Each structure stands twice: as C-alpha cells, then as structure tokens.
A and B are shown apart, each in its own frame.
Chain A
Amino acid sequence: MENTEQRRHFFDLKIPLGSLLGFYGIVLLAYGIFGPKDIYDKSFHMDINIVWGILLIVISGAFLLSAYLGRKARK
C-alpha cells in the first residue's frame, strides 16, 4: 500500500448528508407555511419550523455546493 495517495475513501459523505438536511429543511419550511398555526402557542408564537427550515436549507446547500466544487476540482 502506498503511504501518501492511498485509496480514495469510499464516497463523498457530503452528498447523503446534504440531501437529508435539505429534505428536512423543505419539509419543515412547507409545514411551517402551510401547516396549522395554533401549534406555535408552545414556542411563544415563533414559527420555529420556518426559521429552522430555512437554516437547514442553507446548511444543506453549503454541503452540496462543497461536494459539487470538490468533484469539479478533481476532474
């Protein structure tokens, strides 16, 4: 086995991770917008699903973008 350039590690984890978080972001955002509103009495009338949905979409985008750029750089 070579020391420096060993076998490439299996696959790019950022893709499944980014996709899962992106899915969660979309689900939460949609539920926050279209779902019932009375459930937010618990969270002091803050629609936490919209807030967190947007956050998750941003994080997911960062993972997927970095995976895309990494792949482009290798080619």
Chain B
Amino acid sequence: MKPVISLNFIDYMILSAYVLITIIVGYSLKKYMKTSEDFFLSGRSLPSWITSLAFLSANLGALEVIGMVANSAKYGILTVHFYWIGAIPAMIFLGLFMMPFYYSTRVRSVPEYLKHRYNEATRGLNALSFAIMTLLMSGISMYAMALLFELMLGWSLTSSILLSALVVLIYVFFGGLSSSIYNEVIQFFLIWLGLLPVVYIGLHAVGGFQGLVAKIPPDFLNAWRQMGSASQNPMGVDWLGMVLGLGFVLSFGYWTTDFLVVQRAMASENLSAARRTPLIASFPKMLVPIIVVIPGLLAVALLPQFKVVPGGPTPDYNSALILMFAHYLPNGILGLAITGLLASFMSGMAGNVTAFNTVWTYDIYGSYIKKNMPDEHYLKMGKYATVFGVLFSIGTAYIVRSFPNLMDYMQLIFTFFNAPLFATFLLGMFWKKTTPWAGFWGLLLGILAAATHYLLYQLHVLHYSSEMAANFYQAWWAWCVDFVMTIIISLFTARKDEKELVGLVYGLTPKVHSEERFFKRPAFWGGLSIAVMIVLNIIFW
C-alpha cells in the first residue's frame, strides 16, 4: 500500500531539529546527576509550572491522542467525559488531600508509601505488578505507533521502533527524571502547536462551529443529555456507570495512585508546589478536547470514509487523525504535526521508563535483591534499569506484532490493578484503623474480583450494552470488593502502632497551614478548577 502522507525535506528538517534538541537537553543535565534522588526525583527541585506541564504531558501519549480522536469520531462529544468528569475531580483530590502524604513523608515512590502505611507484602505486590505492566504498556504503545507510521508514512516498523526507543534511551539515561520532565514540557508545546493547525484549517473547511454542528449526527452533540439510559447514546453507557466507573474508580485509581503521574509531582521543589502540580495541570487538561475531540468530529463531518452507513464496513477510527493531516496539511506544517505526534509518543514512553527505573531500583532491587548499598550503586542501577527497560519494551513491541490481540487484553488487565488500588489508598490515608494485612488482602481480592468479573463477562454470564460499560462496571465492583474486604479484615487483624503512622494517615498528621498569598494556595486553584469544569459540563450538556 502506498503511504498516505509524503514528507519532504522541510518536514524532515523539523523532525530532526526536535530529535536533536531532546538529546541536547538530556545530555546537558548529565552533570547534575550526582545522587540517586537527582536521577529518580530531580533532586525535588523543580518549580510547579514545569512539573504540572510534565504531569499532563506524561499522560498525553500518542496512543492516548490517537485513541481519543478515534473515540471522538466514534462517539462524538461524549469523549469529553474522559477529560472532565474522568480526570478533573481526581486531579484535584490528589492535589488537595493526598499529596501532603506523598510529599511530606519523603517517600520516593508510590509502592514505598504502601510499605510504610501497610507492610512489605503490599509494597511488593504493587511494585511488581506496576513494573511489569508499565513496561508492557510502553512496548504496546511503541508497536501501535510504529504500525501507524508504517501505514501512513511508509517508515518501516523496525526503524520507527529503534529511532524512538534510542532517543528516549539516550535522554533518560543521561538526565533521568529531570530530562524526562524537561522534555515533557517541550513535548507539551509541540503537541499543542502541532495539532492546532488541523483544527484551524478543518473548522475553516467545514464552515466554522455552525457548519460542524450541521454536519455531524445529532446524538454526537451532547455530553449528558443522552446518558439517561445505555441504549440512547453511541457509547452504550448510562450515567451511573459513567460517574461510578470512569469518574470515580478508574479516574481516581489512575490519577492518584499511578506512579507515572505522581512521580512528576514528587519532583517539585516544596510541598506547596507539589500540591499545585495536579491542580495547575487540570486547566490545560480541560482544554485537551480542543485538539482531540474537535479533530475527531471534523473527520466525521469532512471525510466520507467516517460516515457510518447501516450495513456498511466499520471505519478504521484509529486512522482518523492521520487522515485529517493527509487531507488538510501542506508540507511544512505537516512536519510540525508529525513532530507533535512523535513528541507525544516519546513523552509517554519516557514517562513509563522513568517510573519503571525508579520502582525497580528502590522497591524491587533495593528492597529484595541488594539492600543497604551506597547511593552510587543505586544511581548506577537506575541507569542500567533504563537500558533494560527500553530493551524489554522493544521486545514487547515485537511480541505484540505477532499477537496483535494482546493489545486489547493488556489495556483491560491494566485496569485490574489500578481500580482496586484506589480503595487501598483511600482507606490507608483516611482511616487509621486499617491494618497492614487488610491492605494486602483487600488489594489482592480486589484484583481477583476484577479478574472474575472479566471472566464472567467473557463467558456471557454478565451482560452489558457495550464493552466500555462492562469495563466501567468492572472497575466499580473491583473497587467495592477491595473497600469492603479491607474494612472487614481490618476488624480481625492486628493494627500498626499509631506512632508509626504519623505523617501517613489523615487525623494523625498535623495540618499544614498555607500562609502564602491566595493565588499560591492549593485550595484556591482546586476551587477554581472545579468551577470551570462544572461550567463546561453545563455548556455542553
């Protein structure tokens, strides 16, 4: 098949300049990497505008961008739920209520918090599942990206994989988390500046917002109006499943406990900056639909292959964004758009790699394999972990190439671990009577509950109107099982001494009083963010 897009020398010049600058930034940070905290936590020295853009960018991987444009072409405006109800409340909760426990206790990772609050077993379970899942996901997104580039640009699978993996390896190897974060900020701007032209030209082509509204199906236009029952909207999800599954469990599970994002906030220069990180990030997060939802809607309005005809073939939604590029972007700006996509891919991958090397070094290697070594040893281990983390991701990419179905399973299995984890954290942070072994068993039973639910759905014992609905309710039930079982087991097992829990649990930790001016206070930003989110939901009701 002939590639859809042909790049010329200007486009390649833009791409190469990007690759060059990421490597320069990474290399120039090399001399600051003296201790393991410099490498894994940026020496806890970054200002909040940098950490908050990185916080957002690490989540804005290429799979996310392409997948969400595809969702928008498939479901319409409903896709905004992934950005508003499905992210903002959780980000605010992290900033206002959970960050003090993560940051003030000086833990270096999410699993390490679990060790202090619960016990070694809980940490081990979380660290191991997180490390494995992170690398698998990084390999999967690398494969998906390379496949798209092969179809659209005619680049061979191997050269895309090796190029992106090598660049990420170089800059993370030299500069650790700082390098990943600095590049994520650059990537943040490139993603926006690269994707906005297609929105601009597309809206011009369709005749502005009025033209767009006239050309898309009417059930694509509202965020909530058709959520009364699952059969009324294209997603096949009712409002309860949306609020409980996505808005509460999946979103809180991801944004408040996934080390990939929490690590960025932990790199902040002080507690107040750490708390502001997710709060400031929530504002650009609310705007991401401009660059993902609008292109999806434009594809439906403008490109004939995305008009759904009853009985006709199902459109290949994942190609929506690239086909929009191919139709509307001339060379030059096209190179910038492809650079934006490549940047989003690298930011996602570097996020995975830095989270992996930290959890591996502190929570697996430093806790079970070689304890109490001098700090230089762990710094060196972090660099090795970066290398084999990248190699393992490449390996996964090739395995997925032979078994493409793995992709769908992995996405699902990831939610097995994330969804119940939030119950374990919620009880651990806000109920001092939660016992160490209740934490472990509750988490394990929650994971098993998710697996059981999945099995019952696959065997057609349970029925939902769509896969997405099944996924949302699965998250909800896994969370409930973890929550209830943790409470029950806590009543029968030995508690930790309260002195050991100071700083880790609400009620045993002295409150922090912010004496900064109002615009630096976390509560101000949190309140503002929730207000904007409510207004947006009303506008697009």
Looking at the complex, which one of B29, B44, B333 makes contact with A52 (CB distance below 8 Å)? B333
- Is the C-beta of A7 less than 8 angstroms from some C-beta in chain B? yes
Pairwise interchain contact A56-B193, C-beta atoms closer than 8 A: yes
Contacts of A4 on B, CB cut-off 8 Å?
270
Query: Which residues of chain A are within 8 angstroms of B269 by Cβ–Cβ distance?
Result: 6, 9
Instruction: Chain A residues near B45: list those with CB within 8 A.
Output: 6-10
**Chain A residues in the interface with B (C-beta under 8 A):** 3-4, 6-11, 13, 16-17, 19-21, 23-24, 27-28, 31-32, 35, 39-40, 42-44, 46, 48-49, 52, 55-56, 59
Task: Collect the chain B residues with CB atoms within 8 Å of residue A21's CB.
Answer: 189, 193
What's the nearest-Cβ distance from chain A to residue B303, in Å?
A: 13
Q: For the complex, what is the distance from the CA of A6 to the CA of B193, rounded to whole Å?
A: 33
Q: How far is the CA of A17 from the CA of B53 in the complex (A)?
A: 13
In the complex, the answer to whether B10 meets A46 with C-beta atoms within 8 Å is no
A43 touches B13 (CB 8 A): no
Chain B contact-residue range equals: 35 or more
The answer to whether B10 and A16 have CB atoms under 8 Å apart is no
Taking CB atoms, residues of chain A closer than 8 Å to B193 are: 21, 52, 55-56, 59
Q: How many angstroms from the CA of A6 to the CA of B37 in the assembled complex?
A: 14
Indicate if the CB atoms of A28 and B44 lie closer than 8 Å: no
| CB atoms of B43 and A7 under 8 A apart | yes
* Mask of B35-61 contacts with A, CB within 8 angstroms, 1/0: 000000011111100100000000000
B468 to chain A minimum Cβ distance, whole angstroms, is: 35
What string of 1s and 0s marks CB contacts (under 8 Å) between B1-35 and chain A? 00000000010011001100100110011001000
B479 on the interface (CB 8 Å rule)?
Answer: no
User: B193 — nearest CB in chain A belongs to which residue?
Assistant: A56
> Is B404 an interface position by the 8 A CB rule?
no
| Chain B residues whose CB sits within 8 angstroms of the CB of A24 once the complex forms | 14, 17, 336
| Shortest distance between the CB of A60 and any CB in chain B (Å) | 10
Within 8 A of A (CB), among B170-217: 178, 182, 185-186, 189, 193, 197, 200-201, 204-205
